[in-house]
Amino acid sequence: MPNARSDLATLVSHRSIANPELAPRDGNSEAASFLEEALAMLELTIESRDMPDGTRTVIASASAPPDAPTVLLYSHYDVQPPGDESAWLSDPWELTDRGGRWYARGSADSKGNIVAHLTALRALDGDLRCGIKVVFEGSEEWPSPGLETFVQEAPETLDADAMLIADCGSPAVDEPGLTTSLRGSVVMVVTVKTLESPVHSGSFGGAAPDALAALIRILDSFWDERGTATVGQPAVPRGWTGKEVPESRFRQDAGVLEGVDLVGDGPLADRIWLRSSITVVGIDAPAVQGSLPAIPASARARIALRVPPGVTAKEAEQGLVAQIRRATPWNAEVEIVTQAATEPFASPGHGTAFSTFRDAVRDAYGREPTEIGEGGAIPVCSAFSAAYPSAEILLYGVEEPLSAIHSPNESVDPGEIERIALAECLFLMRYAGVAATG
Ligand SMILES: [Zn+2]
């Protein structure tokens, strides 16, 4: 663990934001170089590649002993920008101990997961019974043609029997979770135009079509009275078979204000993991401050649709476009642009790697892991499951609700790094003995 801490301290000091519009690329390439050195010290062969978006995917491997399977260890070293730095209680780029937790941007998502991989490999001390492919991506948090494009173009490079994707986590500290379901996503911008330019609401209001009012009517059609999304729902809705999400914990984790209702119907796990949801994540309309008594001529919104397993991203996208067309009033002009689409993912929840990993997690934590879903997409997961249909994909990691990933004061519980590293180490020792290879 002292090594894990010093690895993480170095890693978070590199400001590895992938999007060059938000930060210089230096931090990203420094982080990549640090990881290459760390992997070379583990006597892995470095085979890093430059991606089409200009970032580097750190790749390191050790070939499989005869008849042994190959395990891929994935995580990402790029991070979200720190956001409002005044909201941080300590420097986001300096690993800081507070109350038994380690604070810094990326400490959990996903540099903490990278350090768990490194710690597991270090603990094996060269006793590699499986082939290993380490893949540390540098542009997961930035939607750009990176690793997913590379996987399509050169699938043989990353082929493996089991893929350990550490970019998730658990329902709570010391309560292990295995993620078996991910929602995909469709991001769309809709622009509504009704007038050549804004006109006086006194002179023209009552007959001149208001673009913002038209947009509001379109957006309102996305939910029923209970707040359930009207688009992107599976034709045959499944129910979550794992443990239910307790409402009190959900309300607390989400920070729902007292007296305010949750939306949707049915068990919470179904609502957040197995049903679609729609969020208007941005809207362009006249600002309240300085607004004039004028009818808006145009308005636009960015919409994020979460796509549950059982629905393809294409079906969800087509459903959303059809709903926008249906709900558009007054023959207003509408332009629709899809900006991103990611497929959902559902693990079968069984298989040699899955059960070996579940046992390893149980032994590392001293308790049985629960199966959980994740409402957000992991694009590389869809790319891997499409490119390697026979590989078993496992999702887990060191993140939990207190980690506040993507928010100020992100942190990790070092005990999670230790337990996840131990689970991986046990898995890598046992998997070769149980996996049938062809
Ligand atoms: Zn992540």
- Look at residue 378 in the predicted model and tell me its pLDDT: 86
The sign of the dihedral angle between the CA atoms of 354, 360, 363, 365 is negative
Residue of 140, 210, 343, 374 marked active site: 140
- Are residues 116 and 424 in contact, defined by beta-carbon separation less than 8 angstroms? yes
- Look at residue 436 in the predicted model and tell me its pLDDT: 58
User: What does the block give as tokens for 71?
Assistant: 């395990």
Distance 148 CA to ligand 1 centre (A): 15
Distance 298 CA to ligand 1 centre (A): 36
Distance 251 CA to ligand 1 centre (A): 23
Residues with CB under 5 A from ligand 1 (ion): 109-110, 167
Among 381, 313, 334, residue whose Cα is nearest residue 158: 381
Residue 110: asked if its preceding bond is cis (omega within 30°), the reply is: yes
- Are residues 107 and 412 in contact, defined by beta-carbon separation less than 8 angstroms? yes
Task: Tell me the per-residue pLDDT of 303-353, one tens digit each, with 9 for 90 and over.
Answer: 999 999 999 999 999 999 999 999 999 999 999 999 989 899 999 888 999
Strand partners, 394: 164
Residue of 36, 78, 137, 399 marked active site: 78
Distance 10 CA to ligand 1 centre (A): 18
Distance 76 CA to ligand 1 centre (A): 7
User: What does the block give as tokens for 344?
Assistant: 């959902």
Distance 112 CA to ligand 1 centre (A): 10
Residue 197: asked if its preceding bond is cis (omega within 30°), the reply is: no
- Look at residue 438 in the predicted model and tell me its pLDDT: 41
Distance 228 CA to ligand 1 centre (A): 27
pLDDT beneath 70, residues of the chain: 436-438
Residues contacting 82, CB < 8 A, separation 6+: 88, 92, 93, 105, 408
411-412 sheet: strands from edge to edge: 96-98, 101-103, 411-412
Distance 141 CA to ligand 1 centre (A): 7
Active site residue 399: no
Active site residue 91: no
Distance 140 CA to ligand 1 centre (A): 7
